[in-house]
Structure 1
Amino acid sequence: MTNETTERRVIDVVSLYPNDMNIYGDSGNVLTIRRRLALYGYEPVIHHYNQGDDWPEHVDMILGGGGQDSGQSKIIDDFFTRADLLRELAADGVPMLMICGMYQLFGEYFETSEGKRLDGIGVIGAYTVGQDVRMIGNLVEHSNDFGDVIGYENHSGQTFLREGVAPLGHVNAEGRGNNGEDHTEGARVNNVIGTYMHGSLLPKNPKISDFLIAKAAERRYGAFEPQVTDTAKAELDRLEHFAVEARRVAASRPR
Structure 2
Amino acid sequence: MDLKIYHMYPDLLNLYGDLGNVTCLAQRCQWRNINVEVVGFSMNHEVPLADGDLFFIGGGSDRGQNIVYSHLLKYTREMGDLIEDGAPVLAICGGYQLLGEKYIDAEGNDVPGLGIFDYQTRSEEGRLIGNIIIKNTLGLSPETMVGFENHGGRTYHDHQVLGKVVVGHGNNGKDHKEGMVYQNCIGTYLHGPLLPKNPHLADHLILKAMERKYGLNKLPCLEDGPEYNAHEKVLKLYSP
Kindly indicate whether the alpha-carbon contact (under 8 Å) linking 1:167 and 1:186 is maintained by their aligned counterparts in 2: yes
* Post-superposition CA distance 1:178-233 (Å, at most 9, x none): 0111110000011000000000000011111111001100111111454x5xxxx6
Which of 140, 165, 181 in structure 2 is aligned with 1:171?
165
Q: Displacement of 1:40 after TM fit?
A: 1.7
Tell me which residue corresponds to 1:61: 54
- Secondary structure, aligned partner of 2:126: coil
CA distance in 1, matches of 2:31, 2:230: 21
Equivalent residues of 1:107, 1:127 under 8 A apart: yes
Q: Are the aligned partners of 2:137 and 2:161 in contact in 1 as well (CA < 8 Å)?
A: no
Q: Which amino acid aligns with 2:149?
A: E
| 2:105 aligned residue | 112
Please identify which structure carries the higher strand content. 2
SS class of match (1:157): strand
1:88 matched to 2:81: yes
| 1:26 maps to 2:21 | no
Gaps of 5+ in 1: 1-8
Q: What secondary structure sits across from 1:172 in the alignment?
A: strand
| C-alpha separation in 1, matches of 2:233 and 2:17 | 18
Shift of 1:243: 6.2
- Cα drift, residue 71 of structure 1: 1.2
Conserved 8 A contact 2:134-2:145: yes
Distance, in Å, in 2 between the alignment partners of 1:244 and 1:124 is: 36
Report what 1:123 is aligned to: 116
What are the within-5 Å matches in structure 2 for residues 143-158 of structure 1? 143-145=136-138, 146=140, 147-158=143-154
Structure 2 Cα separation of the partners of residues 222 and 172 of structure 1 = 35
Matched, 1:49 2:41: yes
Using structure 2 for the length normalisation, give the TM-score: 0.90
Within the candidate set 65, 73, 77, 2:66 is matched to 73
- Normalising by structure 1, we get a TM-score of 0.85
Long gaps (5+) in structure 2: none
Q: Which amino acid in structure 1 is aligned with residue 164 of structure 2?
A: H
Q: For the pair shown, which has the larger CA radius of gyration, 1 or 2?
A: 1
Query: CA separation in 1, counterparts of 2:217 and 2:232?
Result: 27
In the alignment, which residue of structure 2 is the partner of 1:36? 28
For 1:50, give the aligned amino acid.
S
- Answer whether contact 1:204 1:247 (CA < 8 A) is retained: no
